Structures are given as structure tokens and as C-alpha cells.
């Protein structure tokens, strides 16, 4: 294929002709790019409208959320500077394949460009939308909470990362012995972690996350709410649904950052 393409290459054209074509191509390419981005990154501020970014979630790709909607960070684990100007709340499921895709393909860039630089803090909340993902999804979520109990928010996200790296998703993920193996690899007490899981002490916390997400309009995972950080922990902002590309998040975050700088 590469050889055929080389044979079909057009002959070099005079520089003046090339420049004229470039002048015509540049605005056309901008228009095409704008159309593509507009089609992919439809979102709205919940203060003024009810559009959401919708592509991939577990249940309903046509879900529309009515605003305004305020979502609480609750007492869930926070990654990044707690004084960051922007908060992103993620409702996710460790057994959701789209959530794993987001973790592997998009989350690293969000972390590098916005969380590690102190611009955004991430709050992770559990939302198990598919019954077939249980019992493993709930057990994994409880295990992460139990890890947090031993090592705080930083340990929570280390454990969170390992679950997503190792699970095969769709309810076929990690068994209890896998969860204790992760604990050992992170130098936390695996016996204590197992006892914590067996006690079901964090099950109500997970159910509260699901209830809060449902109230905010979440029906599938992953779903995100991005808005200005507030003292009361209630975030009022844009909703992104599904395993969207990095640019979908970048556009919203940058707009929110500009607004915060103007205050």
C-alpha cells in the first residue's frame, strides 16, 4: 500500500500555485475541524441549559440531563490540590469497559495537564449502573475505600489505578484474592483490608454515591461533572457522559479556568 501511494504522488507544482491552494485549504480545514469538534463536544453550562456530551455509556447514549443540577463532592476521595479552582466529579464503575478505556486513554492526560498542575481536583464517586457487574464491582469499590482507610486519599487512588489496570471489566474482573494481592503490592495490610471488605462497612457509602448520581441525572458510566470549586462542595457545571476524547474535557476545563480568572 505504501508503494502504491508513492507511485500516485502528484508532480511538484510551482510555489505560487502551491501557496494559492494553501490559502484556500487553510480556512476550509478550520471550518471542517470546527464542525467535527462541535459535533463531538456539545456541552452546556448547567446554569443556562441542559445539553450534555453523550457518546459512550453503559445504558443509554441518548440520555439528556435537565439543569441546573448541583452535584456534591460528598466525603469521597480527592486527587490533586484540594484548593484547585476547578472540580471534576467522576461517577464510575470499575467493571465498566468504557470507564477502563477512559482510565487508560484519557485520564493520564487530564492528570498530567490539569490535576498535577493544581488546576483541577478530581473526586471519584462510585456508580454501578449494570447489575451484571456485581458482585465484583461493589467489592472492588469497597476495597478501594478500605485502602483509603489505611492510607488516605493518596492510597485510594493508587489502589484505584491498580484495579483499573488489572480488571478485565464487564463483571469478570478481580476476585478477593486479587484485591489482597494489590494491597500487598502497595504495602498495606491485606488482612485488615479483607476484614474491612467482609464487614461491608462501606456498602452504604457506595449506595449513597449511586443515589446522588441518579439524582443528578447519571444513568450510565463514566459520567463527569466539571465546574468551579465551591466552599460548600456543591459543583454546578457541565456534564460529560461517556468515554469522550481528551479534547472534550480540555475545552470545558479551559473555559471554566478563564471564568475563574475573571473573578
67-118: pLDDT as tens digits: 447 899 999 999 999 999 999 999 999 999 999 999 999 999 999 999 999 9
Average pLDDT over residues 196-212: 98
pLDDT in tens, 118-130: 999 999 999 998 9
Average pLDDT over residues 11-25: 44
Residue 247: pLDDT over 90: yes
Residue 143 or 171, more confident = 143
- Break the chain into its structural domains and give their ranges: 43-261
- Find all residues with CB under 8 Å of 226, minimum gap 6, and list them: 86, 87, 88, 89, 235, 237, 238, 239, 240, 249, 252, 253, 256
CATH superfamily of 43-261: Glutaredoxin (3.40.30.10)
Q: Which cell goes with 87? A: 472540580
pLDDT of residue 263: 63
Residue 238: pLDDT over 50: yes
Query: Model's pTM, two decimal places?
Result: 0.77
- Which is it for strands 70-72 and 86-92: parallel, antiparallel or unpaired? unpaired
Amino acid at each position: 500500500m505504501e508503494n502504491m501511494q508513492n507511485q500516485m504522488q502528484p508532480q511538484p507544482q510551482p510555489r505560487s500555485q502551491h501557496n494559492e491552494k494553501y490559502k484556500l485549504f487553510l480556512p476550509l480545514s478550520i471550518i471542517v475541524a470546527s464542525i467535527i469538534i462541535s459535533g463531538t463536544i456539545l456541552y452546556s453550562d448547567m446554569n443556562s441549559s441542559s445539553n450534555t456530551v453523550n457518546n459512550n455509556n453503559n445504558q443509554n447514549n441518548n440520555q439528556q440531563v435537565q439543569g441546573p443540577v448541583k452535584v456534591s463532592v460528598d466525603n469521597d476521595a480527592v486527587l490533586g490540590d484540594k484548593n484547585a479552582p476547578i472540580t471534576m466529579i467522576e461517577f464510575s464503575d470499575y467493571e465498566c469497559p468504557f470507564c477502563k478505556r477512559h482510565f487508560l486513554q484519557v485520564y493520564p492526560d487530564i492528570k498530567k495537564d490539569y490535576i498535577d498542575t493544581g488546576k483541577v481536583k478530581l473526586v471519584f464517586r462510585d456508580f454501578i449502573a449494570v447489575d451484571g457487574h456485581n458482585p465484583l464491582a461493589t467489592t472492588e469499590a469497597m476495597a478501594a475505600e478500605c485502602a483509603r482507610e489505611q492510607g488516605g486519599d493518596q492510597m485510594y487512588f493508587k489502589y484505584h489505578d491498580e484495579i483499573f489496570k488489572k480488571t478485565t471489566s464487564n463483571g469478570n474482573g478481580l476476585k478477593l484474592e486479587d484485591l489482597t494481592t494489590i494491597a500487598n503490592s502497595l504495602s498495606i495490610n491485606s488482612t485488615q483490608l479483607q476484614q474491612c471488605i467482609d464487614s461491608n462497612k462501606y456498602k452504604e457509602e457506595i449506595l449513597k454515591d449511586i443515589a446522588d448520581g441518579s439524582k443528578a441525572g447519571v444513568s450510565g458510566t463514566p459520567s463527569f461533572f466539571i465546574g468551579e470549586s465551591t466552599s460548600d462542595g456543591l459543583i454546578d457545571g457541565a456534564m460529560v457522559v461517556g468515554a469522550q476524547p481528551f479534547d472534550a474535557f480540555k475545552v470545558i476545563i479551559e473555559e471554566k479556568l478563564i471564568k475563574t480568572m475573571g473573578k
